[in-house]
Every structure is written in structure tokens, then in C-alpha cells.
């Protein structure tokens, strides 16, 4: 019993009392307005002009008061607002022609008083209503899932999966499109900020005659939004009842950076193509696009030079001959060089470089803003990514160094750094780079040659971004 009473009490607490009071007040006001309108009709029949005018005016005032004081208040609390905000409507050419035809027939019905024309207009308007209800029910029953690849490179195709699931188990879905939702225009926000009134306004502070506290009406900075991931259209002609359909779409990104998609749209013209109704689906997705790692002419030109100097530094590859020396106890017999042993009249063995001696470090010395042109800067970022990607596929212990980089040896962590990097002033990694290790450095920098530590020249290959040459 107590539980039932508590449930009833919770139900009453959940009721929006102000909304219900306004609702019943609106009903009372509209009832009075209707009664006043009926009285005005009666007074007009009796020929009482003053009573007719007063009762008609009272009906109009009551209806206007309800429309102004109650309707907006209630509209904010009903689900109709959510439905309106969840859908976008675009009229088609067919729909515009259909509405024009409805208007023509409606005007003809009013002019002629033909009941058949009124029935035709009603049927045509009912078709529009049925179309809206059917398309809304269709779109509400659909669920959208988007799967994006984990690693995406600029100017390389990547495949995304769009899966559309029909939650209705009794009716299929027809003619659906997945489209990018319309972005709302961001309004520039302005506010009053503290400032200083100066005169003359453009003179230096020491030459200004007057400086007084002031309030300035300024626009606030609006953060730039990331470009969208998806900008095309995916068409699903049919999705069965309780089933799902999948489509793979090729995505291509021209530039590196972060791409985001907050909302997608599910649109349909079903069933009569009067309107294109679009349901906005909240689907937050983000893709980090790595710099391009294409084999450009520049990369193919410098790669042999880097590889040659690197091979000299580490005395050859692990499967290449390092030197021929005298045999020592413990050397395997399969390494004996019989030709060299025959010439020297003593056993000689071939010695190979260990694979773990091949250590390469790629250094991206991020320049300050305006140090190099934008095209050369992007060229340097792409070249660093291409070199890292190339050597990551070989038997090389690869490491990376850059301003603000965490020091991870994972190739994807370095590519993620290059995807977001921008020119910035700061300390150069060349000043703190260790020179006593076994790493060979490939350094991309915009610093002048004379400012580079001399200890780096013996074990580094330099790519000078500012000069455009190595």
C-alpha cells in the first residue's frame, strides 16, 4: 500500500503543473471566444450592430491572448519541437508543381462552389499528409552505423563502412540516402569588453594626450571547425524488415590533419517525392589523416644517397659482408671463407654486421612561423613521413625526434605528430641531440648551416627545407 501511494505521489510530482494550468486556461479562453463568436452571429441576425461588434471583438481578443500567452509556452514543452528540430525539409520540383496544382484547383473550387473540387483538393492535401507521416515513420525506424579505418593517409583511398539497420520487423524501407547534414551558420558573438579610449587614437602611448577607461563592443573569436569526413551520398534502395544493409564507400583526403563529423543525415523522398525529408543523426566521428607517403620524385632522388651513407655508417647490412678476419675459437665452420684461407694459408672467416646495429633516427626540426613558405613546409612534413614509412618496413631500429614529440618509437605515433604539426617557435632538438650513440640521423631542418652543431655532420644526412636542397 505504501509503495502504491509513493508511486502515485511520484506521478503527481512528475506532472508539469504550470503547463497543465495554462492548458486548461487556454481551453477556457477558447471556449469563451467561441461563445462570444456565436453571440456575435446571433446579434448580427437580430440587427444589433453594437452588440455584434463588442462580442466579435471580445472573441478576437480572447483568441489572440491564448495565442500569445499560452501557445508558445506549451509548444516548448511538447515533442513536436523535438520532431521539428530533428528533421529538415526541402521541397522538390515535383512537390512544388503539385502544390501549385492544389492551389489552382482550390481557387477554382472557391470560385465555383463545386463540392467535387473541394473533395479533390482534400484528397490531394491528404496525400501530402500521408507522405509526411510515412517518411517520418520510415526515418525514425532506421539506425546508422559508420566504421572508419584506423589509419588514413592523405591522397590515398580509404574505405568506410556504412551500415543501415531497419528496426521495424513488419515493414521494409525504401529509397534512403546517407548525406552530410547541413551545418548551422555560426553567429558571431559580441560582448562588451574593457578598453582604453585614447586620443589621438593611432599615436604611440607616450604621445597620446588622453587615456580614459572605456567599454568596447567586440566580436569574440570563433574557433575554426574541422573539415568534414564525408561529403558524398550513399544510396540504399531497399532495407528489409528487421534486416540491415551495408555499403563500402571510398574516402580520399587531400590534406593531412584532423577531420570530424558530428552529424549525418538520413534523407528520403518516399513515398511520393513531394519533399526531401532529412533526419539528423548524431554520430560523432573523428579521423586523423597522416601526411602523404607517396614515392615522389624527390624521395626517390634522395633515398639512395641516404641509404648509401647509412650503409657506410653501419658497415653494411646484416646479411652483407663486413670483413674477413682470422678464425677464432667458437666461430662456426659455415662462415669459413675457403678461397681467402687458401690464399693466406690460414683459416679465414667472414664476419657480418648484426641487425641490431642498424639504428636510424629521423629528426624533424620544426621551424618557426614564416621561416619557410607553406608549400615547402608541407613538402618537409610529407618527406619526413615518407622517409619514416619507408625505413619502418626495413630491418632498422627506427626512432624519432621533434619539438614536443614524446619520444615513442611507434611509427604511427610519429605520423600522428606530423598530421597535426604546425610551424611554431621553440627549442630546436638539434641542440640537445645525443651524438655519442650509434644512431644515424636524417635531419629535416630550416636552420642555417652555420648554426648546426659540428658533431652532427659526421653521422647525419641533412635536408634543408629553407634552401630547397640537401
Q: Does 174 lie in the same domain as 242? A: yes
Q: Does 68 lie in the same domain as 137? A: no
Q: Does 139 lie in the same domain as 255? A: yes
The stretch 36-64 carries a mean pLDDT of 80
Strand 87-91 with 152-153, pairing: unpaired
Q: Does 173 lie in the same domain as 109? A: yes
Per-residue model confidence as pLDDT tens digits over 115-148: 888 888 888 888 888 888 888 888 888 999 999 9
Tell me, what's the pLDDT at 206? 66
Q: Does 443 lie in the same domain as 313? A: yes
Q: Are 282 and 82 within 8 A, CB to CB?
A: no
Q: Which residue, 37, 57, 77, sits at the end of a domain?
A: 77
Whether residue 197 is contained in a domain is answered as yes
Q: Could you tell me the maximum CA-CA distance found in the chain, to the nearest angstrom?
A: 143
Length of the chain, please? 470
We report the CATH number of the domain holding residue 259 as 2.60.40.10
Tell me, what's the pLDDT at 66? 75
Q: Does 343 lie in the same domain as 372? A: no
**218 or 373, greater pLDDT:** 373
CA distance readout (Å), 43 to 36, 59, 62: 10, 14, 19
Among the ranges given (323-327, 374-378, 446-450), the one the predictor scored with the smallest mean pLDDT? 323-327
Per-residue model confidence as pLDDT tens digits over 160-193: 999 999 998 888 999 999 998 776 555 555 666 6
Q: Is the pLDDT confidence value at 282 over 50?
A: yes
Whether residue 2 is contained in a domain is answered as no
Distant-in-sequence, close-in-space partners of 330: CB < 8 Å, separation ≥ 6: none
Q: Does 424 lie in the same domain as 304? A: yes
Distant-in-sequence, close-in-space partners of 134: CB < 8 Å, separation ≥ 6: 270, 271
- Cα(first)–Cα(last) distance of the chain, in Å? 88
How does 223-242 read in b/e, with b if 16+ C-beta sit within 10 Å?
A: eeeeebbbeeebebeebeee
Give whichever of 96-110, 150-164, 217-231, 310-324 has the largest mean pLDDT: 150-164
Strand 158-166 with 244-251, pairing: antiparallel
Residue 19 has phi, psi (to 5 degrees) of: -65, -40
Whether residue 7 is contained in a domain is answered as no
Whether residue 411 is contained in a domain is answered as yes
Tell me, what's the pLDDT at 316? 43
Q: Does 167 lie in the same domain as 35? A: no
Q: Does 301 lie in the same domain as 371? A: yes
Rounded distance between C-alpha atoms, residue 380 and residue 365, angstroms: 10
pLDDT confidence band for 464 (50 / 70 / 90): confident
Q: Does 261 lie in the same domain as 233? A: yes
Q: Does 175 lie in the same domain as 194? A: no
Expressed as residue numbers, the domain containing 209 is 190-219
Nine-digit cell string for 18: 504550470
Domain count, the chain: 5
DSSP 48: -
CA distance readout (Å), 261 to 142, 179, 183, 281, 283: 19, 11, 10, 11, 7
Could you tell me the pTM of the whole model? 0.64
Q: Is the pLDDT confidence value at 426 over 90?
A: no
Whether residue 9 is contained in a domain is answered as no
Amino acid at each position: 500500500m505504501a509503495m502504491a501511494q509513493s508511486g502515485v505521489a511520484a506521478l503527481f510530482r512528475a506532472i508539469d503543473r504550470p503547463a497543465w494550468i495554462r492548458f486548461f486556461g487556454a481551453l477556457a479562453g477558447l471556449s469563451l471566444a467561441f461563445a462570444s463568436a456565436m453571440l456575435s452571429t446571433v446579434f448580427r441576425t437580430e440587427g444589433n450592430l453594437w452588440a455584434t461588434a463588442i462580442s466579435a471583438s471580445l472573441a478576437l481578443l480572447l483568441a489572440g491572448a491564448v495565442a500569445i500567452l499560452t501557445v508558445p509556452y506549451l509548444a516548448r514543452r511538447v515533442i513536436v519541437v523535438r520532431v521539428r528540430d530533428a528533421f529538415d525539409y526541402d521541397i522538390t520540383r515535383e512537390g512544388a508543381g503539385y502544390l501549385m496544382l492544389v492551389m489552382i484547383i482550390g481557387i477554382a473550387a472557391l470560385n465555383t462552389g463545386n463540392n467535387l473540387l473541394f473533395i479533390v483538393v482534400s484528397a490531394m492535401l491528404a496525400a501530402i499528409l500521408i507522405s509526411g507521416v510515412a517518411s517520418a515513420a520510415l526515418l525514425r525506424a532506421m539506425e546508422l552505423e559508420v566504421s572508419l579505418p584506423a589509419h588514413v593517409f592523405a591522397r590515398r583511398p580509404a574505405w568506410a563502412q556504412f551500415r543501415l539497420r531497419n528496426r521495424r520487423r513488419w515493414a521494409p524501407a525504401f529509397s534512403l540516402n546517407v548525406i552530410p547534414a547541413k551545418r548551422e551558420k555560426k553567429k558571431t558573438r559580441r560582448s562588451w569588453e574593457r578598453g582604453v579610449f585614447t586620443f589621438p587614437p593611432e599615436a604611440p602611448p607616450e604621445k597620446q594626450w588622453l587615456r580614459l577607461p572605456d567599454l568596447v563592443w567586440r566580436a569574440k573569436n570563433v574557433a575554426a571547425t574541422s573539415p568534414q569526413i564525408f561529403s558524398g551520398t550513399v544510396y540504399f534502395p531497399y532495407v528489409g524488415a528487421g534486416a540491415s544493409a551495408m555499403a563500402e564507400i571510398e574516402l580520399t583526403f587531400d590534406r593531412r590533419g584532423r577531420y570530424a563529423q558530428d552529424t549525418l543525415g538520413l534523407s528520403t523522398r518516399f513515398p511520393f517525392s513531394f519533399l526531401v525529408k532529412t533526419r539528423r543523426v548524431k554520430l560523432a566521428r573523428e579521423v586523423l589523416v597522416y601526411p602523404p607517403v607517396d614515392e615522389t620524385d624527390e624521395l626517390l632522388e634522395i633515398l639512395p644517397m641516404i641509404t648509401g651513407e647509412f650503409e657506410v655508417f653501419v658497415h653494411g647490412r646484416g646479411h652483407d659482408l663486413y670483413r674477413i678476419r682470422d678464425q677464432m675459437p667458437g666461430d662456426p665452420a659455415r662462415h669459413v671463407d675457403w678461397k681467402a684461407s687458401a690464399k693466406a694459408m690460414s683459416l679465414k672467416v667472414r664476419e657480418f654486421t648484426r641487425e641490431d646495429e642498424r639504428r636510424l633516427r629521423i629528426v624533424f626540426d620544426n621551424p618557426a612561423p614564416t621561416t619557410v613558405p607553406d608549400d615547402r613546409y608541407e613538402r618537409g612534413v610529407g618527406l619526413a613521413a615518407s622517409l619514416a614509412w619507408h625505413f619502418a618496413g626495413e630491418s632498422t631500429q627506427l626512432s624519432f625526434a621533434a619539438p614536443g614529440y614524446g619520444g615513442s618509437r611507434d611509427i604511427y605515433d610519429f605520423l600522428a605528430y606530423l598530421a597535426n604539426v604546425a610551424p611554431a617557435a621553440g627549442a630546436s632538438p638539434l641542440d640537445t641531440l645525443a651524438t655519442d650513440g650509434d644512431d644515424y640521423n636524417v635531419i629535416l631542418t630550416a636552420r642555417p648551416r652555420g648554426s648546426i652543431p659540428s658533431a652532427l655532420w659526421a653521422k647525419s644526412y641533412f635536408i634543408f627545407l629553407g634552401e630547397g636542397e640537401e
